[in-house]
Amino acid sequence: MNDEDLAALLAGGESDRAERKESAQDADGIRQAICAFANDLPSHNAPGVLFVGIRDNGECAGLDISDRLLQRLSQAHSDGNILPIPSIDVSRHRVGGCDVAVVVVHPATAPPVRFKGRAYVRVGPTTRLATPADEQRLSERRRARDLPFDLQPVGFATVDDLDLDAFRRDYLPAAVPADIIEQNQRTIEQQLRSLRLIDSGEPPRPTYLGVLVCGREPREFLPGDYVQFVRFEGGALTDPVADQKEIAGPLPELLRRLDEVLEANIKVAVSLSARPAESQVPDLPLAAAQQLARNAVMHRNYDGTNEPVRIYLFSDRMEIHSPGGPFGQVTPENFGTVTDYRNPHLAEAMKNLGYVQRFGIGIPTARSALEKNGNPPPEFDVGPSAVLVTIRRRA
């Protein structure tokens, strides 16, 4: 948006496209506003704008628009509390004679967007919780032409291909607060649609996200949806195989079993220190292996390939092979420092299930765990259609 557009929005006062904040102290209020603008309940199909550094009466707050403030605002949409991650732009402007931080929030292609499991909307100058009717409107508005792969409908699947008992037991309570479930009293179809697990057609069809999260047999529709784990006795593919497993199933089961297999195969070496007590030091830190394996499940390409994620554990290293090269803003040069999402709603599901704490920190967390454990840093071989991550055991 140009300065004239921003000035006009600011001069018009608070509305369903503009909100003022005196400072960034109200962190939850800022996130609720971002969520509401992303949902675009009035169907403006135009960005909403949050002006930080303006009092409610329109006066300048005299806020220092520092780089640190802009960074805090930029992180507000990607700390894992707003899902799916909305698209925002954050910049410094002088508008109406005031220095302000401007947060431009673009309408979501797949609403409803939720903050801490609750959808917010903008009604006039007010941000409020979405009603069931609001959420129904938002669910029906998805623009099919813009949908990423994980939200595209599976043309040859039906709702009967979803395990509805597992959905109620494992995913619904993880994705939506109990009081919202109780308050809304929705049908199972409305709940599935609201969480993007089925589309809005008649009859509804499961999305690929629905098949991945709660499909009875996900591999019937996505043959590569599994993790192949192989532990070798030596350091080469030709060495004897000590153990191998295919880890498959709907997302909650797959991630749980993946953690179990990794934990069972991370050996612990006993290290005697100068202190009387012994300290147990793993030859590979479990946290690093988990983060990188989950990244592979989250960011892999599920479309047009039957290849699984492959995890090979050798005597001297672990290799994690992920089908699908860099996506979006990610390049071989900035891999590990820039994050983009081929499967943004699968990422949301993993966050809901507790396997992601914050977005964009998987690789930094793995680097830190390896360094603290005394391992070399991870090695990345980023090709056009696959990524290989290697982590080496302690010497």
- What's residue 145's pLDDT? 54
Q: Region 225-252: what's the mean pLDDT? A: 96
Cα distance between residue 356 and residue 294, in whole Å: 8
> With pLDDT > 90 as the criterion, what percentage of the chain qualifies?
70
Contact present, 352 and 195 (Cβ < 8 Å): no
DSSP string over 16-47: TTEEEESSS--HHHHHHHHHHHHH-TT---S-
242-290 per-position pLDDT tens digit: 999 999 999 999 999 999 999 999 865 444 444 444 456 788 999 999 9
Overall fold of domain 3-129? 3.30.950
Contact present, 262 and 344 (Cβ < 8 Å): no
Contact present, 359 and 79 (Cβ < 8 Å): yes
pTM of the model: 0.79
Cα distance between residue 301 and residue 308, in whole Å: 10
> With pLDDT > 70 as the criterion, what percentage of the chain qualifies?
95
Q: How far is CA 259 from CA 13, 130, 268, 361, 371, in A?
A: 51, 36, 16, 18, 21
Mean pLDDT of the chain: 91
Alpha helices per DSSP H over 188-230: 188-194, 208-214
227-392 domain in CATH 3.30.565.60? yes
340-356 per-position pLDDT tens digit: 889 999 999 999 999 98
Structural domain boundaries of the chain? 3-129, 147-220, 227-392
